[in-house]
C-alpha cells in the first residue's frame, strides 16, 4: 500500500494564483503613467483653454442654444469622455512624437483664425478637432491617434454643415416625414390633411420645421447609434454593419413619432401646449424612441445571428 499525500490549501491555491494575469498591477502602472504625464500636459491644457474658451462661450450662448445645433454639447461631452476612457491605452507604448502633428497644428490654427474672424462656425468648430488631433500626434505619436480615432471621428457630428447643403437635403426629408404622419393619423381616424410640409389637423395648422425632421436630427441620431455600437463592441461584423445601416430608417421612424406626438398634443391640448413646454419634451421623446428602436433592432439582429449560427451548426 502506497500513501498518497494530498496537497494542503496553500499548495492548491498556488498554481491558480500564479496563472492569474496581473491586472491590478497593470492598471496601477497605467494610472502611475497617467499621473506622470500630467505635468507635461498642463501647458498644453492652459493653451487650449486660452484658445478655445472664447469659442465655447460663444457656442453655449449662441449656436448651441438653438434646436438645430443643440446636439453639439452632448456630442462634445461624449467625445471627451470616450477619449478619457481610451487614454490609458495610449500609454501602453512609449511616446513616439510624430512630425505630422506640426503641419496639422498649423492647419488647425489657420482654420480657427479664419473661422473666428469671419464668423464661419463650421471652420471654428472643425479647428477644435484638428488642433486636438495635432497635439496627440505631436505629443504621443501615430499609435495614440489610432487608439483615439473614434472620439475624433465622433466629434465630426458636432460640426455644422453648409446651410445650402442642409436646406437641399432637409426639404425631401421633411416632405417624407409629413407624408408618413398624414397617412398614419388619417388611417387612425383623425381629421388631417397636408399641403407640402404643412399639416392641418382639426382647426390647427402645423409647419414641420427643420428641427423636427432635418438633416441635423438625422446626424445626431446616427451619432447616438454609433456611440452605442462603440460601447457594446459586438464581435459580430454582421450586427455592427447591420445596425449602422439600419440607424437611418430608425432615425426616420423616430422623427415621424415625434411629429405625430406634437400633432396629437396640439389637437387635444391646443396650439399653446404644442409650441410650449411639450414641444421641447417631444425632443426627449425623439431620442428615447430612437434609443428604444436601436435596442430592439440590435436584439433582433442578435436573434437572427444566433439562428444563422444554429443553422450552420
CB distance 76 to 56 below 8 Å: no
Annotated catalytic residue within 140, 194, 212, 239: 212
Residue matched to cell numbers 437611418: 248
Give this prediction's pTM: 0.71
> Per residue, what are the HEC states of the chain?
CCCCCCCCHHHHHHHHHHHCCCHHHHHHHHHHHHHHHHHHHHHHHHHHHHHHHHHHHHHHHCHHHCCCCCCHHHHHHHHHHHHHHHHHHHCCCCCCCCCCHHHHHHHHHHHHHHHHHHCCHHHHHHHHHHHHHHHHHHHCCHHHHHHCHHHHHHHHHHCCCCHHHHHHHHHHHHHHHHHHHHHHHHHCCCCEEEECCEEEECCEEEECCHHHHCHHHHHHHHHHHHHHHHHHCCCCHHHHHHHHHHHHHHHHHHHHHHHHHHHHHHHHHCHHHHHCHHHHHHHHHHHHHHHHHHHHHHHHHHHHHHHHHHHHC
- pLDDT value of residue 313: 56
Phi/psi at 217 (5° precision): -65, -40
Phi/psi at 285 (5° precision): -60, -40
Active site residue 212: yes
State how far the Cα of 30 lies from the Cα of 13, in Å rounded to an integer.
Answer: 28
| Cell numbers for 162 | 453648409
Phi/psi at 123 (5° precision): -70, -40
- pLDDT value of residue 14: 40
State how far the Cα of 94 lies from the Cα of 144, in Å rounded to an integer.
Answer: 10
State how far the Cα of 85 lies from the Cα of 269, in Å rounded to an integer.
Answer: 45
Active site residue 194: no
Residues 6 or more apart whose Cβ sits within 8 Å of residue 218:
173, 248, 251, 252, 255
Annotated catalytic residue within 258, 307, 308, 309: 258
pLDDT in tens, the chain (313 residues): 434 434 444 444 444 333 334 445 555 555 565 566 666 777 888 888 888 999 999 888 887 876 677 778 888 999 999 998 888 888 888 888 899 999 999 999 999 999 999 989 899 999 999 999 999 999 889 999 999 999 999 999 888 888 778 777 778 888 898 999 999 999 999 999 999 888 999 888 888 876 666 677 777 778 888 888 888 777 777 777 888 788 888 888 888 888 888 888 888 888 776 666 555 566 666 777 777 888 888 888 888 777 776 666 5
CB distance 197 to 176 below 8 Å: no
State how far the Cα of 137 lies from the Cα of 110, in Å rounded to an integer.
Answer: 18
| Cell numbers for 210 | 427643420
Amino acid at each position: 500500500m502506497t500513501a498518497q499525500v494530498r496537497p494542503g490549501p496553500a499548495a492548491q491555491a498556488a498554481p491558480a494564483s500564479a496563472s492569474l494575469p496581473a491586472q491590478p498591477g497593470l492598471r496601477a502602472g497605467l494610472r502611475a503613467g497617467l499621473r506622470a504625464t500630467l505635468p507635461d500636459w498642463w501647458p498644453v491644457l492652459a493653451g487650449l483653454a486660452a484658445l478655445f474658451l472664447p469659442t465655447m462661450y460663444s457656442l453655449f450662448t449662441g449656436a448651441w442654444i438653438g434646436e438645430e445645433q443643440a446636439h453639439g454639447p452632448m456630442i462634445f461631452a461624449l467625445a471627451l469622455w470616450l477619449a478619457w476612457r481610451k487614454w490609458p491605452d495610449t500609454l501602453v507604448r512609449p511616446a513616439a512624437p510624430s512630425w505630422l502633428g506640426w503641419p496639422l497644428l498649423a492647419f488647425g490654427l489657420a482654420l480657427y483664425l479664419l473661422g473666428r474672424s469671419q464668423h464661419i462656425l463650421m471652420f471654428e468648430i472643425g479647428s477644435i478637432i484638428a488642433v486636438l488631433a495635432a497635439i496627440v500626434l505631436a505629443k504621443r505619436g501615430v499609435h495614440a491617434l489610432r487608439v483615439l480615432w473614434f472620439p475624433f471621428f465622433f466629434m465630426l457630428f458636432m460640426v455644422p454643415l453648409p446651410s445650402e447643403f442642409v436646406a437641399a437635403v432637409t426639404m425631401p426629408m421633411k416632405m417624407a416625414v409629413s407624408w408618413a404622419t398624414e397617412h398614419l393619423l388619417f388611417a387612425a381616424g383623425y381629421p388631417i390633411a397636408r399641403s407640402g410640409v404643412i399639416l392641418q389637423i382639426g382647426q390647427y395648422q402645423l409647419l414641420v420645421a427643420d428641427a423636427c425632421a432635418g438633416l441635423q436630427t438625422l446626424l445626431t441620431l446616427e451619432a447616438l447609434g454609433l456611440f452605442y455600437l462603440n460601447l457594446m463592441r459586438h464581435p459580430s461584423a454582421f450586427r455592427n454593419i447591420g445596425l449602422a445601416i439600419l440607424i437611418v430608417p430608425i432615425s426616420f421612424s423616430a422623427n415621424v413619432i415625434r411629429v405625430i406626438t406634437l400633432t396629437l398634443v396640439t389637437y387635444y391640448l391646443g396650439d399653446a401646449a404644442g409650441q410650449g413646454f411639450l414641444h421641447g419634451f417631444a425632443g426627449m421623446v425623439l431620442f428615447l424612441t430612437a434609443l428604444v428602436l436601436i435596442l430592439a433592432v440590435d436584439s433582433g439582429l442578435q436573434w437572427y445571428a444566433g439562428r444563422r449560427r444554429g443553422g450552420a451548426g
